[in-house]
Each structure stands twice: as C-alpha cells, then as structure tokens.
Chain A
C-alpha cells in the first residue's frame, strides 16, 4: 500500500526511558508519527509496547526523554536527560486531543451508552448537550450500535463494548487514536467487528497507533510496523520489511511463534 503524507509531524518521542521500580521497561525510544499514518506496534509481551503507548498520553510518567504532540512539549528532557513535564492542567489539555482505546474497554458502567459518549464533550469541551448527543448518535451509527444508545455497558458483548469505547474516544474529535491491544480481551468471534471499525477509521485517514497481537490485521492495515523487544524499537519499517523479508533474527523467531 503506497500512501502520500504531507510530512506533518504529530507525535515526536526522543530518548524515552521508563522503569517500574528499577526494572527498565523502555530503554531509549525515538519515534516520529506523521499525520495520517497508521502505525502498528508488535512484539513479545513485556517488550514495552503498551508502556510506550501509555507514555504518549501521560497515563505513565516517563523518567527520561522528551514527548511532544503537534509541536507542543508534554515532557522535555532537561540537561541531565530527565523528563520534565508541563503542569498537569497543560498536559491534560494537550492529551485531550489524543484518543485512547483500552484492552478492557473501561466504559463507565453507571452511564448508558449515549451518556458514556457525551460525558467528555459536555464536561471537558463544554459542548451543548443537544449538539453532543446528535454527534454521539452519528458516531454510534458509524460503529453500528445506534440501537444500543440507551443500553448500559453490562448489557453489551465485549465487541460491542469496544465499539462504544471507540465511539467515546472519537467524540472528543482527537487528532490521533491510540489502541492498546483493542481485541486482546475479546472472544475470537467478536474480534472481527472491532477490527472492521478500526479499518473504517483507517479509510478515513485517522492517524492511529495500534498495539496489537493481530499480525494479519497489522500487516493489512498499517503504513508502518514497529517491532519492539526488551524495551527497544528493533525495526521500524513497512509491513513488508517485517512480515515478508524479516532480516532481524528476533523478528523471525517472534513471527514463527505467533503466526
């Protein structure tokens, strides 16, 4: 798949380090994502894929390095390399342009599907309720769940929950969507419906970073595939670089195990 990008940089990560209690999880990540790019991140569990994604919208706090979004620094390395964050308020404002979809959906169980979707536009963006609702209905139609607008999360299947979660993230009109293993908690027969929605977003050129174990999907949908291992990016290339001619022995071993 050949696509053209106006090389407009949306996320830039430099020398990112992160440890959990002296256990290093990210060991110097450099990454640039351009507008309109669809990037999959693959690799063995524990390789730091999810942690990298969670650092991008400050669900995890990096120890060292810089992260910027559309040219605005969320965290900037000081002279010693330490990541110095902007104020919580500023970080939150910047990160509200970054949509996130979680492995476990994290829908608000006490709110109906429609209420889940309009919560942030109304509370954070101060959008009038009627406007938020009509937008939410449009999003529900897009993910094929219009008839579930008044249902509560407990009444939905895993696949439906995840589609609502995607609609909820899209309701903030983010400039990029992060997917953290969006199908890993789903029964096999429900994975397809979620991937279908993500594909639809890809066709609309939504910028996306997808951490996934769905290799066929990653290969089909991505402009770029990043292979991570032991907290480092081992290969950052086209799907063909990874899946057709994997030169790196670690990728070969990994693919042999999962495909």
Chain B
C-alpha cells in the first residue's frame, strides 16, 4: 500500500502523463480514420470492380488480424521487410488509422446501404444527380444509422490505445505498469482504470449528444 497522500498524488500524475500519448493517438486516429472509412465506403459502393476488390481485401485483412500483430508488423516488421523505420509514435498512428479505417469503412458502407432504394428513386425523378443525391439525401440519413456503431468504435479505440505500451510508448497503461512495479503496490492500476473510465464516460456523453441532435426526425 501507498503510505501517504503525497505519494498517491505523485503516482496519479505519473500515470496522467501517459494520458498525453493515449489521447494523441486517439485524436489522430479519429481525425484520419473516419474520412478514410468514408472514402473507402463510397469506393465499395461504386461499380468499379478492381477498386471494390482492393477495398474488400483491405477490410478483410485489417479486420481479420489482431491489431497487436499489425502494430508489431508496422514497428518491427517493416524495417526488416522494406527497410522503412518509423518512430514509435508514427508506427502507432499509422497502424491505428489503417486498422480503424477498415472498421469505419464497413460501418459506413452498411449505414449507406440501409437507406431505402425509394430515396434514390425520388431524388433521381427530381433530376438530382448521384453526387447531389449522396450529399443531400443519402448521407445525412445514413449518419443517423452510423452514429451508434461509430460511438462503439470510439469507446473501443481509447482502450485499444493501451496496446501501444508493447512498442514502449509511455501511455496510460505503460506508466501505470511501471509505477506499480516501482512502488510494489496496486494503486497505479486503479489510477489507470479511473482515467480510462473518465475518458470513455466523456466519449459516450459526446456521442449521446450528437445522436440526440440527429433524432429530430422519426
């Protein structure tokens, strides 16, 4: 057990420092993976066979293998394979963006496909072209369908950032682990758990708010 309040504060601050890298990875992933998913979802809905095939391979590969393996591969595998050495942070960003992009692709594709065929027909009968129809009619409705599963991914992502501790990035988990072994007491883990809970709580609240804003119709 920790002996003093002072020590507990020190432990907490040390673990909190790890939140910087966790949140950095989180934000960068969200900012890039969502547009990537959007683009790939649109690509999957085209009639261009090679593009569809390529995107099918992409989502199959990145959803079908462990994120941890992908992270090892990017950081330790790429230098061996093609001589590209990435910094720890870059390797983490890249892996997370591509991995989460694959999940978002499938979520967005399914969301867009859930919109009734009659909506496309009505837009076409009014003279709207494909671009206009997607932008003004289909995607605004798909967003509502897409929000709950996207919120799920957003919560999973903050917990997945803990995986970067295996490539020695000083995130929440790695700092917690090192403080636990240094103090030989369990408080570091509690602090880490509390931090993850606070962050996921905020993410859930944000998504609830957005979902509410899109619930103005039916």
Contact = CB atoms under 8 A, between A and B. Distances in A.
Interface of A: 57-59, 88-89, 92-93, 95-96, 98-100, 102, 104, 106-110, 119-120, 123-125, 152-154, 168-169, 172
Contacts of B122: 100, 102, 106-108
Given A108-B137, A110-B141, A152-B218, A96 B118 contact: no
A104 B116 CA distance: 11
Contact of A124 (B116, B132, B141): B132
Contacts of B136: 119, 123
Interface stretch (B72-80, B92-100, B123-131, B199-207): B123-131
B7 interface: no
Contact of B126 (A58, A93, A153, A169): A169
A124 B121 contact: no
A108 B218 CA distance: 11
B140 A106 contact: no
A238 to B, nearest CB: 29
User: Which of B124, B128, B144, B216 has the most chain A CB within a 10 Å cutoff?
Assistant: B124
Interface of B: 116, 118-119, 121-122, 124-129, 132, 136-137, 140-141, 144, 216-218
Given A102-B121, A108-B119, A89 B129 contact: yes
Q: Nearest 5 pairs between A and B by C-beta?
A: A96-B127, A120-B126, A106-B122, A100-B125, A106-B118
Contacts of B118: 102, 104, 106
Contacts of B140: 110
A123 B135 CA distance: 11
Nearest to A122: B136
B53 to A, nearest CB: 24
B126 A109 contact: no
A102 B122 CA distance: 8
B218 A95 contact: no
Contacts of B141: 108-110
A99 B127 CA distance: 9
A153 to B, nearest CB: 7
Contact of A152 (B126, B127, B132, B216): B216
